[in-house]
A and B are shown apart, each in its own frame.
Chain A
Amino acid sequence: MLKSRMGRSVAVLAVVGMAALGLAGCSSSSSSTGSGSATSGTVNWWGWTPELATAKSYIAAFNKVYPKIKVNYKQVTIADWEAALRPALASSSGPDVFDIQPGAYVTEFKSFAQDLTPVIKKSLGSNWQSKVSPIGTSGLTSDGKLTALSVGSTYAGTLWLNKGLFDKYNLTPPKTLAQWASDCKTFKANGVGCFVQGASQEGFNQDTLQSIADSVEPGLWTKMSTGAAKWTDPGMVKTLTIWKELFTDNIMQPGAIGYAQYPDANNDFLTGKYAMVMMGTWYMQYATTSGMTAGISAAGVAGAKPFPIIPIAFPDVAGAGHAGYHMYGDSDYGLAVASKSKNEAASDTFVSWLTTSKAGQQVVGNVLDDIPALNGISPDFNTISMPDKSVQQAPVQALIKTVGTVSEAREALLSSGVQTAILAASTSVASGQATPAAAAATLQAAAVASGESFK
């Protein structure tokens, strides 16, 4: 036992020492004003997209031009995005470059991002706006600040089919709700899954509902998103009614509202368990041999054998005469440079190269994940390999051509509050807990509560 006086002094010193350590840990480190070199350094990039293999290919192509800038890509799933990014960006050890997508994320993360207008001006000149896709710019701009440079855009409004399974059972791609239901009966009779959706995730329910709404009344969804129409519009009630029919007609797989689109539904489709899935243009990457091989092995299947998949327009489920492609989309994601980045100049170089240089955008285009943001870039199909080009290349090229003129927004107009309400409405109708009319009313009330103003 220590003599009491010495013991006390030691204790006091220990306490003071610990308090000092604690305070040192708590104090924010002074933000570095140095922006680093533009041609060398290390850049840490966090994103939920692209896939790891795709990111590596972007970085490898970048390093051919800028060998001294090391880019480290970390994939954080979109489900964990907010939880991981907000503390990271608020600290001084967060990423230098991070993804931003139009809509709720722009609002949430704009204060952490630098205005990239000078960067794009430097690369493309003062008339840069005419050289890139306008929805890429508008969706990522907030309060006059260009929070991120769009890598490319992505659109939804399609279904993707396992061509092999359709051919095997002599079925043609469904164009109406009735045909869809009968195709599903045939598949089920043969022990094959028909259509798979992860209806527990908001984003994909939103896409399916928007597609149904476009079939009921094109343009209605945008009106409801901007307050020009209410979510209780009869068209929306019809949309929710048809959504419910997808479940009662046994098109949706059992237990869909407990399923996740990623990884569950995606894995099921890529491993050939189901013949159809609701995905958008980002799924074009799985039409390529390399993309599909990577996807199947990521689904945990060894010895992946890629098979041909083709896109079709979302069936005309309302039968109101609006058949054909009704696509909607935004910038898939843009790259933002963190305000606290210590490697600002190198980050600007990387972001600028990938989003505004011909070489960078051509690499993006060839992966077939995004439609390039830079005008005039189209995928070079001579260098792209597909499991069966004879049936795949034509529909994919037609799809790319169609989206060139799309102006209907996908994510940009919806706040996180409205999106939560859309998920609640879709799952409560699907489970039978609410009628379409009641769910629409709840959705309208939630939209008002989250700040949407209606005419």
Chain B
Amino acid sequence: MAITGASTGVTPDRTRALRSTASGGGKKRRRLSQPPGLPWILPALILSVGLLYYCIGYTGVISTWNWDGVSPNPQSVGLNNYIQVFQDPVFWDAIEHTVIFFVVTFVIQTFLGLLFATLLHSKIRLAVVYKVIIFVPVVLAPAIMAPVFRQLFAPDGQFNWVLAHVGLGFLQQPWIGQTSTSLAVVMSITIWEFTGVTFILYFAAMGQIDQSVLEAARIDGASNWRTLTSIIWPGVRGTTVALGVLSAIGALKTFDVPWLVTSQGGPVYSTEFLGTYIYRITIPLDRVGYGAAISIILLVVAVIMAIIIQRRGREREGSVD
């Protein structure tokens, strides 16, 4: 024990305290002495608790004001802003778009990510090249890609040109400039952007699946499809749940693509999301209090979504076991 103490620098008192904790009898003594890690996490704790939660609290306070962000005398209006939010049709449009966006992008990204991961786990040549190609969109900044996509989907853009040249000319239309297709454009850009993330995570998760189980399945004569649905899919459940939470929160936070590609949430609010709405209300329209109320609602929705998805993920795990 003494040798251990010298090499780790732990004082004899501490060693005794730790040993007695293990036996359960030294709890009182342990509480009196400071928890060993606190001074080291204190700076990060101050930053996160101080900055983050203070800001959230301050936003909550602002949400009860009628304020333009600069005047020195904000007017307190209680919960009036929240009542107005729930009666605001654009807010409900934004919620509807967020839900559609989340469901569609999550399902398609999961499907594509799983597909690519499965394919690249098989023996194919130049696998690294394919991995890079699939992942590159993830590292490209949306603000850089936005003008490219605006050009691509413009009425005289490359997408319409391709449609015309493969015999689908009748499908040509102004994709960004009409309300029926603008949300689809936003969703397809997002899927292009983030399939790389789902792919990488599934690729890693599939690498963790016990090879012996897969071999046993092969010996028993399971088809590829059966292997995928009965062994691989349940085996990557944890990844799916995590991606679900990330997708949900990403859907709530989405801003760059609808703002930059489809003209700031248009046309006619057809790609309005909570992020774009909050930004527009707060900055050009100076309704800082109202924007803060929507922000708090967004926070509550995000927390609820995260809890629900986590719970469902855990429930399923429990039932499988």
Residues of A within 8 A of B (CB): 1-4, 7-8, 10-12, 14-15, 18-19, 79, 82-83, 86, 90, 108, 111-112, 200-201, 253-260, 264, 416-417, 420, 424, 427-428, 431, 433
Contact = CB atoms under 8 A, between A and B. Distances in A.
Nearest to A12: B39
A255 B172 CA distance: 11
A90 B9 CA distance: 52
Nearest to B7: A1
B263 A200 contact: yes
A14 B43 CA distance: 8
Contacts of A112: 70
Q: How many B residues touch the partner, as a band?
A: 35 or more
Given A257-B178, A416-B285, A427 B39 contact: no
Nearest to B147: A263
A61 B103 CA distance: 59
Contacts of A18: 43, 46
B39 A8 contact: yes
Contacts of B69: 86
B155 A254 contact: yes
B182 A1 contact: no
B43 A258 contact: no
Given A8-B39, A416-B286, A427 B177 contact: no
Q: Is the interface of A mostly helix, strand, loop or mixed?
A: helix
A257 B11 contact: no
Contact of B70 (A2, A11, A111, A424): A111
A9 to B, nearest CB: 9
B148 to A, nearest CB: 13
Nearest to A416: B285
B155 A255 contact: yes
8 contacts: A108-B70, A253-B155, A255-B155, A258-B174, A258-B182, A260-B263, A424-B269, A431-B179
Given A86-B69, A257-B178, A258-B176, A428 B268 contact: yes
Contact of A433 (B70, B176, B179, B285): B179
B103 to A, nearest CB: 24
- What 9 A-B pairs come out closest when comparing CB atoms? A255-B174, A255-B177, A258-B177, A11-B39, A200-B263, A1-B9, A258-B176, A257-B267, A255-B155
A257 B70 contact: no
A22 to B, nearest CB: 8
B43 A417 contact: no
Given A416-B284, A417-B285, A431-B268, A258 B262 contact: yes
Contact of B71 (A1, A111, A201): A111
B283 interface: yes
Contacts of A2: 9
Given A82-B283, A431-B267, A255 B46 contact: no
B268 A424 contact: yes
A257 B8 CA distance: 69
Contacts of B286: 108, 416
B297 interface: no
A256 B262 CA distance: 12
B42 interface: yes
Nearest to A256: B177
Nearest to B259: A79
B178 A258 contact: yes
Interface string B255-275: 000000011101111000000
Contact of B177 (A12, A15, A257, A424): A257
B154 interface: yes
A86 B286 CA distance: 10
A372 to B, nearest CB: 30
Interface string B53-73: 000000000000000111100
Contacts of B263: 200-201, 258-260
B178 A255 contact: yes
Contacts of A420: 285
Which of A83, A255, A264 has most B Cβ within 10 Å?
A: A255
Interface in B159-214: 173-179, 182
B52 to A, nearest CB: 14
B276 to A, nearest CB: 13
